[in-house]
A = this chain, B = another copy of it.
Amino acid sequence: MLAKYVPILNWGRAYRRDQFGRDLIAAVIVTIMLIPQSLAYALLAGLPPEAGLYASILPLVAYAIFGSSTSLAVGPVAVVSLMTATAVGRLAAEGTADYASIAMVLALLSGGILTLMGLFRLGFVANFLSHPVIAGFITASGLIIATSQLGGLLGIPSRGHTMPDLLASIWENLARFNPYTLAVGATALAALAWIRLDMKRRLTAIGVPVAIATFMVRAGPVAVVLASIGASAVFGLGERGVALVGDVPQGLPLLAVPGISLELVTALIGPALIISIVGFVESISVAQTLAAKKRERIDPDQELIGLGAANVAAAIGSGYPVTGGFARSVVNHDAGAATPAAGAFTAIGIAVATLALTPFLALLPKATLAATIVVAVLSLVDLSILKKAFNYAMADFIAVATTLGVTLVFGVEMGISLGVAASILIFLYRTSRPHTAVVGRVPGSEHFRNVLRHSVETTPGILSLRVDESLYFANARFLEDCIYARVAEHPEIRHVVLMCPAVNAIDMSALESLEAINQRLGDLGIRFHLTEVKGPVMDRLEHSDFLDHLTGKVFLSQHAAIAELSGAGDV
């Protein structure tokens, strides 16, 4: 029973030496990748850089205990960092102790929400974030994050978490840019971009083995950080107006439960819910993709518990909201991680780095971290989704465009909320006006098809109508109008036959409409029949008195209905 919720009790008992070796190698590689990222994302979240390191220690241990994915690398990620900055920025000023403490409360609430969702098996809620909404949201977030780092690259202040605010703020301060900062930022950006896009090819071209070249690409950003620190010391960049990270407390985070008030919970519960769901969706997609490659299965509800535990750990370990990172998990998987233990080993690596690195970090230019973020998030931006959605269906295009546009202009919370609302409303609108077709018999067969698409035979006096949707409150009146309009046009109709192969449910509102149709057609001397009603729908109708009042019959097939009604001689 306990092992159901604590997967480590299962895989831990059978932990083998070969797994240990693979996990250790993966952990070393992920640690090297995570150090600059965690510093940079903390800055993006408006927190001191050490918060990023802290968020990469305890949460990883907690996930190793409660998580179910053998590949997922948990920690600070770009989109959740932006969402944290948006949510916390409303309540406190960046750089204050309050700000850091509110970020911990946000992690605590998010952890609580995720854990509860897992215990109540509410993982399915994530399904309501449609693919177009997620794609539009991630692309817009990437653009906002990249823009927000322009200030850091230029050495000017930039404020805001929406495109208009950021652009206005950058435009206002543009003239005051610092040339030394720009030099550091541009150099770091160029180096990181080259490492990411070109270095592996060059190294292998000169004979470096692929494995070593791959490792060097992953270690590259750490080298850029070290080089920046060196340059900062040699050229005295701090005295030339280049913003440096500054003193960072040495040592591991203190464990403490952040101070909570009802007021704070009320202000943060909405953002915490959105962060939880977005983080979960991002995490579960990569976890499932990687699990599929290993022929493993991920239990979404256990993942909720694992991520919930990680966020609670982030809260008590001076961190901020975390989730599974896409690129980092892929690296973890490629490096051979065999069990969640790889994450725990990464945590040890980060803890060691925290103790060893902090003295040097004071000299690190913030522009280097800004460059790290820009290179990382530009891979999130994928505007081709707009074209793809446009070609596929207008409904999907509206969902992408709404999410993308609203996120850029009004921010992440509004963007994801309106995106979800738009995709649900479009779905409801579509189902509220179902496709209907008058059908006739395909000559020489028992098949009935749309009279407009096929050359078919119809029987005068009988209206055969197929409705391609479940009947429920939103389309109940539509069906009434549809039938009345056709009956009014064709006064010769004596039988209306409703063909129901695509009707998967009939709710009470639709039942009322069917009763109204039956009665009104009856008043006009027209009999009302149903055909091809599915078992579960028929079961339901038998619980009502609809069938007692039906003027016509329920036929097993459309063919049986037409055969009997046209043969009965009363048409």
Looking at A113-121, A308-316, A427-435, A457-465, the stretch in contact with chain B turns out to be: A427-435
Residues of A within 8 A of B (CB): 124, 127-133, 292, 297, 388-389, 391-393, 395-396, 423-424, 427-428, 430-435, 450, 453, 468-470, 472-478, 484, 488, 501-502, 504-505, 507-509, 511-512, 520, 523, 534-536, 540, 543-544
Min CB distance A403 to B, Å, is 12
Contacts of A423 in B (CB 8 A): 473
Whether the Cβ atoms of A428 and B468 lie closer than 8 Å is: no
Partner of A432, one of B124, B433, B534, B543: B124
Whether the Cβ atoms of B477 and A435 lie closer than 8 Å is: no
Whether the Cβ atoms of A501 and B504 lie closer than 8 Å is: no
Whether the Cβ atoms of A504 and B393 lie closer than 8 Å is: no
Partner of A127, one of B130, B476, B505, B544: B476
How many copies, total? Answer: 2
A293 to chain B: closest residue by CB: B523
Question: Can you list 26 A-B contacts with CB-CB less than 8 angstroms, sorted by A residue number?
Answer: A124-B432, A128-B432, A130-B472, A130-B474, A131-B508, A131-B512, A133-B473, A297-B484, A389-B508, A391-B544, A392-B511, A393-B540, A395-B507, A396-B508, A424-B424, A424-B428, A427-B428, A427-B473, A427-B507, A431-B470, A434-B504, A435-B504, A450-B535, A468-B534, A501-B501, A502-B504
Partner of A508, one of B392, B488, B501: B392
Contacts of A476 in B (CB 8 A): 127, 131
Whether the Cβ atoms of B508 and A393 lie closer than 8 Å is: yes
The secondary-structure label for the interface of chain A is helix
Give the interface centre of A428, A505, A512, A540 by most chain B CB atoms within 10 Å. A505
Query: A507–B423 Cα gap in the complex (Å)?
Result: 10
Min CB distance A251 to B, Å, is 43
Partner of A509, one of B131, B453, B501, B511: B131
Closest A-B pairs by Cβ, 7 of them = A130-B473, A131-B509, A396-B508, A468-B504, A130-B509, A502-B502, A127-B474
Query: A468–B543 Cα gap in the complex (Å)?
Result: 21
Whether the Cβ atoms of A297 and B474 lie closer than 8 Å is: no
Query: A133–B476 Cα gap in the complex (Å)?
Result: 14
Min CB distance A524 to B, Å, is 8
Whether the Cβ atoms of B540 and A128 lie closer than 8 Å is: no
Whether the Cβ atoms of B508 and A132 lie closer than 8 Å is: yes
Query: A474–B428 Cα gap in the complex (Å)?
Result: 12
Whether the Cβ atoms of B392 and A543 lie closer than 8 Å is: yes
Contacts of A540 in B (CB 8 A): 392-393
Min CB distance A216 to B, Å, is 31
Whether the Cβ atoms of A473 and B292 lie closer than 8 Å is: no
Min CB distance A179 to B, Å, is 47
Contacts of A453 in B (CB 8 A): 535
A513 to chain B: closest residue by CB: B131
A468 to chain B: closest residue by CB: B504
Whether the Cβ atoms of B488 and A427 lie closer than 8 Å is: no
Contacts of A127 in B (CB 8 A): 432, 473-478
Q: A127-B474, A128-B473, A391-B543 are in contact. List 20 more A-B contacts (CB 8 A).
A: A124-B432, A127-B476, A128-B428, A129-B473, A130-B472, A131-B509, A388-B508, A392-B508, A392-B511, A393-B543, A395-B507, A396-B508, A396-B509, A424-B424, A424-B428, A431-B470, A453-B535, A468-B504, A469-B504, A502-B504
Min CB distance A277 to B, Å, is 14
Contacts of A128 in B (CB 8 A): 428, 432, 473-474
Whether the Cβ atoms of A507 and B473 lie closer than 8 Å is: no
Partner of A393, one of B431, B435, B507, B512: B507
Min CB distance A231 to B, Å, is 45
Whether the Cβ atoms of A396 and B428 lie closer than 8 Å is: no
Q: Known contacts A502-B502, A504-B435; is A131 also within 8 Å of B392 by CB? A: no
Min CB distance A12 to B, Å, is 24
Min CB distance A511 to B, Å, is 7
Contacts of A468 in B (CB 8 A): 504, 534
